[in-house]
Structure 1
């Protein structure tokens, strides 16, 4: 972000929603770029990444899912999906594509701004912190990077936050509701969001994701993080 205003790209095919969201975020102090479809947005993302991407999931042609997948190939850019699909299964699919957060239409503009604010805070640590090691994992909070067994783990912003919280609370039972509050900052919400991100994190840190040894399920409660992969 540097010293200037944070840049937010909004990709939304509904002209009224696009205009209102753009005006509101600009008034809140963001540098906003607006796109009505996925093709031009994809070219812009390839040329220069913003600080946060806000994208409608159901775009015609190149969809929000397509853009999210492309971004995830090479970047941990925070992605917030806008969706008119209220079913839990549909929201989960958006998260599985690599989104960090979602807002269901119709939504309050203030809610969207708060979600954007939260993503930016997570990418800008309040103060430098020393790297530390817990079990098989090494975390560098200052650079927001993580390693397992000496090999760097490619994480999205939200995956990094989830791993960091787990590493900071080793061998403890972590309830889904607590993770939703501590990692997402939500006082309430759909805990399937946590489930999807745990699944994504396992795919990156577990030797065999189907049989996790680090991030194990505590049935009916949540998860337990065992940093040395103990049985």
Structure 2
């Protein structure tokens, strides 16, 4: 059976009872408290059978984030969440749209994050600081900003196989135990991260509802 992996790639233990109970009690920002009838209606949407590999990050909670500086290659910010150098970080500054970067340094509450095309994704147009001295080496221009968001506390990831897709959700195979109403972030190759909540589990599979409607063709053909 495949094991859980930390964001640094090390094997880690499955969530304990306390962590699972915490996940169950998490209040979703996209309405996991909606009635089950609504989910049944959305299940009637056309579904595409697929066989895609990805990673799933069970969310244990959230921490506040303030992004204070942006460049083409990354960002810096502040948070009370405990961070380690070289760990992967899942964060959002725009509702349910999450992004991933790699922590490069930590000083108290402040941290720096490596992230490809950070400016194109989060901020002003991509540009370069040419400098004024002959000895200056051109580098990515940095922009002072004040963007508020949240960090997903998801210390472990697990390999997942996506079995079918609709505009509203996924059916996935996962070796890790999940519980209904738990939130999870799914990462597929070259596609935006998917924030979702678990609707049902059974037989090593889970049905998850996406926070935002998905473009199924783009998800499928990203693997062609």
Larger strand share, 1 or 2: 2
Structure label with greater radius of gyration: 2
| Higher relative contact order (CA closer than 8 Å, sequence separation 6+) | 2
Q: TM-score, normalised by structure 1?
A: 0.22
**Structure 2 length normalisation: TM-score?**
0.22
